[in-house]
């Protein structure tokens, strides 16, 4: 134990809550597998990637955080299937740099490319194409998972329950070390984007419900601060990958050029929040006015379409030291009124900040704790640190649960444990698989302990001896 | 675990018969609190608070006899308590008592007892939990100080001096614990109408204990390191600290 480093303070992208854990950086998959199999019951541990989950999913107070970003080798690229086999610590950014020039693209991508493959699987991420393509789990051919009982290989047809518990399992059934991901073929690195404005939330949802099959990618950016008859005014951006003939003739010689640009850097963590209601309202107004009423067929580099926020590195610091959370929920189709009520409450409280993202999800996947289900999902950044926000969010949970919906664990840092079973009806299945794979509860995180997912109560004192 | 909004799920209270502690726990019970250890001397008050917490839905409430002035017992108490809870999210230190301060009453025993009750005992209790808190890598210590300790008045000099001690201990500890995941909040109420102050003439800006409780819960949410109750006292004492001593000593009881 003396070889261990001093504890480091860790937090998610929202900067709160934080807790201290010892960070280990395994240099190879066998080293990680060995670490997990050998460490019988002393310190709890959780895998950590690039720290982009918003809350407390990738930290383990008083335990170990296994930084997996060193396991980032791309092991095999099969251009015929096409599919890629890679270690789970590889980032989407690293994958894009290899895949895009070869005319390939990840089948599912979130709003940032700075996530690891393992983190993406543990969150069972979705993208703007969920209505057609589902979550990342649907595109995985095979997983290798390190568990306290040793490495396990699984896929939907083989140890399917391990696969379903691990995709979306928040790293608590095992640590994904390797994955085979099926890929999408693209002809160009550009997107063909249609943009239109919607005057309010009802118009926005109506438009998103129409012709959704025409676009592979579909999302609406909603002004979370607009009220009254402008409630939920939004800009819809819907797109497909551009094919070669969509490009102007002079761009066709190099259609797969990947332009990621150099991100601006937030120079230092400011002591206060720059994103208050006044600055954000001004920003949102400008952004809405600038958007075209209707523009079709605009050619946009894929990074600008998929990862607009990656253009400002460390943008999370702008919310100040008190941090923020992202409230993302889904409710079934037919519960449009709930989406409207949530927007109303947040805009009335003047806490909803920046742009919210609204999207229509397609069918639910196989992951036991996977977030997406058929319906509407809305994601909003909510600054924390002012009294009253906690109670406001608790009230939203009640609304979401009574509408048959749920909150996204990878964005969460504050859900109460009582909500879990109602929001995730397959929780019992998941707990059963977890108990089998990790009977001693070695895999744990602050999120797991907060929500009662770790199934093991360990006395605080046991950790003193450790 | 403490969540992103600063709300604890478990708490240990030193001075569990305090009214401010009771009101604070009742508010936290409406949020996330599920396990509590109440430690203190007044058995009836401990049991009454425990019953009220259970009625608010706290799953697990344990009461323990503890006299903070018996500092030799604190380590054993801390160790036993750490075994009873899976983590200690909140350590609330509310032990303390007023003490006569007129010159005729100042003898060695009275002064020493007041300092042990209000400073040495509570500080030692915090120290007894430090090992557990640091090892768990998370947690918040909330220490009830008082404006009486911000600048000591002759009318209240022993209590004030002891509170000045615990206040300084809390602030210094907060700095020492930076980066460990354990955070410290120092609460500085003015005159609070409680059973401790019953029979005394309320000072200006007096508040109810529920107001202190609300300020503490809000402070947990905002992550405040010092909480003044009412908040106006921050400004009042910024001025009072500047008073020349010749003027300060003229302030009547």
Q: From the CA of A240, how many Å to the nearest CA of chain B?
A: 37
Question: Is B159 an annotated catalytic residue?
Answer: yes
- Tokens 């009806």 locate to A425
**DSSP letters spanning A73-111:** -EEEEETTTTEEEEETT-BHHHHHHHHGGGTEE-S---S
pLDDT of residue A456: 55
**For A304-313, A428-437, B217-226, which range has the lowest pLDDT when averaged over its residues?**
A304-313
pLDDT of residue A353: 67
Say which residues have a Cβ less than 8 Å from residue A23's Cβ, sequence separation at least 6.
A5, A8, A10, A48, A64, A65, A66, A67
Considering only the beta carbons, identify the residue of A321, A389, A457 that sits closest to B86.
A457
The mean pLDDT value for B40-56 works out to 97
The dihedral of CA A189, A266, A280, A53: what is its sign?
A: positive
**Tens digit of pLDDT for each residue in B11-20?**
999 999 999 9
- Chain-centroid distance, C-alpha A264: 22
**Tens digit of pLDDT for each residue in A353-363?**
667 999 999 99
- Phi and psi of A386, rounded to 5°? -110, 140
Considering only the beta carbons, identify the residue of A61, A390, A457 that sits closest to B221.
A390
Report the residue of chain A nearest B214, measured CA to CA.
A387
Angle, helices B43-55/B19-29, rounded to nearest 10 degrees: 20
Question: Is the Cβ of A411 closer than 8 Å to some Cβ of chain B?
Answer: no
Please pick, among B159, B169, B191, B228, the residue that the annotation labels catalytic: B159
C-alpha–C-alpha distance, residues A327 and A28, integer Å: 35
Q: What is the pTM of this model?
A: 0.95
C-alpha–C-alpha distance, residues B207 and A78, integer Å: 72
C-alpha–C-alpha distance, residues A170 and A447, integer Å: 9
C-alpha–C-alpha distance, residues A250 and A61, integer Å: 55
User: CA triplet A291, A294, A297: central angle to 5 degrees?
Assistant: 100
Chain A residues near residue B85 by CB distance under 8 angstroms: 459-460
C-alpha–C-alpha distance, residues B43 and B16, integer Å: 9
Considering only the beta carbons, identify the residue of A55, A393, A460 that sits closest to B86.
A460
Considering only the beta carbons, identify the residue of A9, A56, A325 that sits closest to B179.
A9
Q: How far apart are the two ends of chain A, measured CA to CA in Å?
A: 8
**Tens digit of pLDDT for each residue in A232-258?**
999 999 999 999 999 999 999 999 999
Report the residue of chain A nearest B89, measured CA to CA.
A460
A130, A358 Cβ separation under 8 angstroms: no
Chain A residues near residue B132 by CB distance under 8 angstroms: 460-461, 463-464
The mean pLDDT value for A193-219 works out to 93
C-alpha–C-alpha distance, residues A415 and A421, integer Å: 12
CB contact under 8 A, B223 and A416: no
- The SS3 assignment for B172 reads helix
Say which residues have a Cβ less than 8 Å from residue A424's Cβ, sequence separation at least 6.
A368, A369, A406, A430
The mean pLDDT value for A94-116 works out to 97
> Band of the pLDDT at A156, cuts 50, 70, 90?
very high
Count the neighbouring beta carbons within 10 Å of the beta carbon of residue B73. 15
C-alpha–C-alpha distance, residues A154 and A147, integer Å: 12
Question: Is the Cβ of A460 closer than 8 Å to some Cβ of chain B?
Answer: yes
C-alpha–C-alpha distance, residues B209 and B197, integer Å: 11
CB contact under 8 A, A20 and B181: yes
**Tens digit of pLDDT for each residue in A6-16?**
899 999 999 99
**Tens digit of pLDDT for each residue in B196-231?**
898 888 888 999 999 999 999 999 999 999 999 999
The mean pLDDT value for B13-41 works out to 97
């Amino acid at each position: 134990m003396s070889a261990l480093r001093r504890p480091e303070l860790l937090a998610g992208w929202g900067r709160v809550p934080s807790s201290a854990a010892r960070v280990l950086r395994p240099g190879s998959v066998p080293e990680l597998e060995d670490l997990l199999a050998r460490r019988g019951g002393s310190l709890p541990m959780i895998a950590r990637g690039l720290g982009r989950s918003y809350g407390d999913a990738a930290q383990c107070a008083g335990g170990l955080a296994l930084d997996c970003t060193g396991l980032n080798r791309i092991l095999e690229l099969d251009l015929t299937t096409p599919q890629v086999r890679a270690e789970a610590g590889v980032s989407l950014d690293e994958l894009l740099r290899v895949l895009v020039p070869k005319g390939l693209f990840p089948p599912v991508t979130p709003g940032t490319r700075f996530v690891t493959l393992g983190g993406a699987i543990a969150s069972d991420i979705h993208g703007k194409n969920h209505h057609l393509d589902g979550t990342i789990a649907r595109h995985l051919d095979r997983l290798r998972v390190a568990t306290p009982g040793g490495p396990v290989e699984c896929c939907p047809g083989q140890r399917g329950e391990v696969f379903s518990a691990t995709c979306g399992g928040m790293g608590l059934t095992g640590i994904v070390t390797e994955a085979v991901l099926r890929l999408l073929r693209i002809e160009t690195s550009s997107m063909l984007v249609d943009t239109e404005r919607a005057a309010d939330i009802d118009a926005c949802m109506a438009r998103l419900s129409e012709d959704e099959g025409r676009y592979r990618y579909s999302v609406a950016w909603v002004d979370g601060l607009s009220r009254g008859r402008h409630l939920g005014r939004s800009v819809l951006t819907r797109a497909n990958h551009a094919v070669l003939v969509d490009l102007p003739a002079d761009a066709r010689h190099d259609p797969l050029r990947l332009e990621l640009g150099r991100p601006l850097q937030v120079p230092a963590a400011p002591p206060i929040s720059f994103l208050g209601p006044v600055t954000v309202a001004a920003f949102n107004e400008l952004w809405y006015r600038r958007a075209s009423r209707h523009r079709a067929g605009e050619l946009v580099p894929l990074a600008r379409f998929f990862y607009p926020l990656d253009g400002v590195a460390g943008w999370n610091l702008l919310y100040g030291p008190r941090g923020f959370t992202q409230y993302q929920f889904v409710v079934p189709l037919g519960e449009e009124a709930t989406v409207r009520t949530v927007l109303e409450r947040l805009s009335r409280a003047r806490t909803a900040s920046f742009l919210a993202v609204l999207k229509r999800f397609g069918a639910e996947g196989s992951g036991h704790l996977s977030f997406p289900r058929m319906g509407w999902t809305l994601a909003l950044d909510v600054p924390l640190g002012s009294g009253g926000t906690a109670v406001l969010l608790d009230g939203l949970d009640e609304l979401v649960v009574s509408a048959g919906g749920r909150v996204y664990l990878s964005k969460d840092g504050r859900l109460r444990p009582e909500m879990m079973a109602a929001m995730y009806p397959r929780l019992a299945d998941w707990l059963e698989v977890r108990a089998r794979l990790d009977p001693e509860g070695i895999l744990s995180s602050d999120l797991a302990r907060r929500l009662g997912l770790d199934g093991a109560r360990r006395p605080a004192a046991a950790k003193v001896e450790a | 675990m403490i969540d992103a909004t600063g709300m604890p799920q478990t708490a240990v209270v030193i001075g569990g018969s305090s009214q401010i502690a009771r009101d604070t726990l009742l508010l936290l019970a409406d949020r996330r609190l599920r396990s509590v250890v109440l430690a203190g001397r007044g058995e009836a008050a401990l049991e009454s608070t425990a019953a009220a917490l259970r009625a608010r839905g706290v799953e697990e409430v344990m009461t323990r006899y503890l006299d903070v002035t018996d500092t030799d017992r604190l380590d054993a108490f801390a160790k036993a308590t750490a075994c009873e809870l899976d983590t200690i999210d909140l350590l609330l230190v509310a032990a303390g008592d007023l003490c006569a301060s007129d010159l005729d009453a100042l003898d060695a025993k009275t002064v020493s007892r007041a300092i042990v009750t209000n400073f040495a005992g509570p500080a030692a209790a915090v120290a007894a939990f430090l090992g557990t808190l640091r090892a768990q890598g998370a947690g918040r210590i909330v220490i009830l100080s008082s404006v009486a300790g911000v600048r000591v008045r002759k009318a209240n000099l022993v209590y004030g001096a002891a509170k000045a001690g615990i206040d300084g201990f809390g602030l210094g500890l907060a700095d020492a614990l930076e980066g460990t995941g354990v955070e410290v909040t120092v609460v500085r109420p003015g005159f609070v109408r409680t059973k401790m102050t019953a029979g005394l003439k309320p000072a200006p800006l007096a508040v109810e204990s529920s107001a202190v409780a609300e300020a503490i819960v809000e402070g947990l949410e905002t992550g405040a390191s010092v909480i003044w109750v009412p908040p106006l006292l921050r400004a009042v004492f910024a001025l009072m600290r500047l008073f020349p001593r010749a003027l300060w000593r003229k302030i009547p009881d």
